[in-house]
């Protein structure tokens, strides 16, 4: 075991169940002091009890590890700030934050009321923003930090009945992209996970033999890697059933339309060329797109 977290402090939100519980146990097994945060609500975020988080702490302690439970609602900044203050005063630092807490309120967009849209945004995006904001100064002071967002294929690729969840999960990719750029000079790496696992979130969506392949333990190694000293930054790892892959967003070379062709009809006529993926590139920051577009236009216009 070369990846270790001795002397490090790791916060895992939503760690009372499913993936978060599995991440917390593995961080503890690798020497971390672990903050097991969980509101203890149901799958749709209603209700609450600190039992789930406490049970995970008991499990970690029984295996000889160090952990503390915390019942903060990640959507509430004051509660998150109190959690972070408590962790820093008890353990002195925060090395890793895994933004994992999440809920589901699935409905088609036609049937979804805005409250169900906004609550999902509040927990996934608001929760990750609150927790990242609360640890940011500490990580900057330390000149070291690792933050992992939990995204989803539903956000990256879309899924029926999940406009709320998908918006939130792709929002986390946007949050990661800019935060990673800002964190780089402070030694803070920010990455995202796109998992698939058998948990209470997915238990009624797939047959038992498929669920048996999708144990959370098959996802956690990606999170532990993204939280380690060896972690890359600004990456998305998809993980499930023991398969690990990188999700890449790319842009096609595109076409330049001269002044006299710059209208929707010419865009439509050029669509197959615009959409052609040959020679597509991965851009590392928003500004790189501006440079790419200007360079193509300059080349077409003969401007040096």
The residue ranges that bind ligand NAD (CB under 6 A) are 13-14, 16-20, 37-41, 43, 45, 52, 73-75, 100-103, 123, 127, 150, 152, 195-197, 199-202
* Shortest CB 188 distance to ligand NAD, Å: 21
Q: How far apart are CA 151 and CA 34, in angstroms?
A: 22
Rounded least distance, CB 205 to ligand NAD, Å:
8
Q: Do strands 145-150 and 96-99 pair parallel, antiparallel, or not at all (unpaired)?
A: parallel
| Closer residue to ligand NAD, CB minimum distance, 97 or 101 | 101
CB of 13 to ligand NAD, least distance (A): 6
Measured CA to CA, the distance from residue 163 to residue 121 in angstroms comes to 10
Q: List strand residue ranges (DSSP E) for 76-139, in order.
A: 96-99
Q: Is 165 a catalytic residue?
A: yes
Chain position whose Cβ is nearest to ligand NAD: 18
Q: Which is nearer to ligand NAD, 20 or 65 (CB)?
A: 20
What the block records as the tokens of 168 is 């939130």
Token reading at 117: 């849209």
- For residue 10, the cross-strand partners are 34, 96
3-state class (DSSP) for residue 148: strand
Nearer to ligand NAD, 213 or 283 (CB): 213
126-to-41, 98, 110, 176 alpha-carbon distances in Å: 17, 14, 24, 13
Taking the least distance from each CB to ligand NAD, the nearer of 209 and 260 is 209
**Residues 190 and 150 sit within 8 Å (Cβ to Cβ):** no
Work out how close the CB of 61 gets to ligand NAD at its nearest, in angstroms, rounded to a whole number: 19
Active-site residue identified among 77, 144, 157, 165: 165
Catalytic residues: 165
């Amino acid at each position: 075991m070369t990846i270790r977290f001795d002397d490090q402090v790791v916060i895992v939100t939503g760690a009372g169940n499913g993936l978060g519980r599995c991440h917390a146990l593995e961080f503890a097994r690798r020497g971390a002091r672990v903050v097991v945060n969980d509101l203890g609500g149901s799958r749709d975020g209603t209700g609450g009890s600190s039992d789930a988080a406490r049970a995970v702490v008991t499990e970690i302690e029984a295996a000889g590890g160090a952990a503390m439970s915390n019942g903060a609602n990640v959507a509430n900044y004051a509660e998150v700030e109190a959690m972070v203050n408590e962790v820093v005063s008890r353990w002195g630092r925060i090395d890793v934050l895994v933004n994992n807490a999440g809920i589901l309120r699935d409905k088609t967009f036609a049937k979804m009321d805005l409250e169900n849209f906004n609550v999902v945004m509040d927990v996934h995006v608001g929760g990750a923003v609150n927790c990242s904001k609360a640890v940011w100064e500490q990580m900057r002071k330390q000149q070291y930090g690792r933050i992992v967002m939990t995204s989803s294929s539903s956000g990256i690729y879309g899924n029926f009945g999940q406009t709320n969840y998908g918006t939130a999960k792709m929002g986390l990719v946007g949050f990661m992209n800019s935060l990673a750029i800002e964190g780089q000079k402070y030694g803070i790496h920010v990455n995202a996970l796109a998992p698939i696992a058998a948990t209470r979130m997915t238990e009624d969506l797939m047959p038992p033999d498929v669920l048996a392949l999708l144990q959370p333990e098959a996802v956690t190694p990606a999170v532990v890697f993204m939280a380690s000293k060896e972690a890359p930054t600004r990456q998305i790892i998809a993980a499930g059933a023991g398969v690990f892959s990188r999700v890449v967003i790319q842009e096609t070379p595109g076409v330049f339309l001269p002044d006299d062709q710059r209208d929707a009809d010419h865009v439509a006529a050029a669509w197959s060329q615009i959409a052609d993926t040959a020679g597509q590139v991965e851009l590392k920051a928003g500004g790189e797109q501006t440079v790419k577009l200007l360079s193509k236009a300059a080349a077409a216009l003969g401007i040096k």
